[in-house]
Amino acid sequence: MKCYNIKFNTVGKVIKGECPDWYILIVDRRFNKDSRIQTGGIYIFQSNYIDFWQKSDSLVYDDWVEDLEALRIFFSEPEWLIEWLEVEPPSLFE
């Protein structure tokens, strides 16, 4: 199983995988920032717009996995290739 270079809270362009030429954002909500209590897993957002949180007409699909192992499995089929961009989402995703 290959899963390299996954970045959290950074937008990436899908080169290979589900929905090529779409954008992806992975948000880690496993722990609360203040208390380190488990809260919500890892969210994976895919959209046709790079800044989908600002576009009312964007298509957005979301997936959820419980932990890092599940995230590795998610990205192993199909084998994803993501180009990480210098675009950071707003703080609402943190």
Residue 76, domain member (yes or no): yes
Give the range of the structural domain holding residue 74, as residue numbers without chain letter: 11-93
Residue 4, domain member (yes or no): no
Query: Residue 56 has what pLDDT?
Result: 86
Number of separate domains in the chain:
1
Query: Residue 32 has what pLDDT?
Result: 66
Mapped onto helix, strand or coil, the DSSP state of residue 38 is: strand
Report pTM. 0.80
- Is the model's pLDDT at 10 over the cut of 60? yes
Residue 5, domain member (yes or no): no
Residue 2, domain member (yes or no): no
Residue 6, domain member (yes or no): no
- Please enumerate in sequence order all residues whose Cβ is within 8 A of that of 55, keeping only pairs 6 or more positions apart, or say none: 49
Peptide bond into 89 cis (omega under 30): no
Give the pLDDT confidence of 20-76 residue by residue, as tens digits.
999 999 988 887 666 666 667 899 999 999 988 888 898 999 999 998 899 988 888
Q: What are phi and psi of 25, to 5 degrees?
A: -140, 130
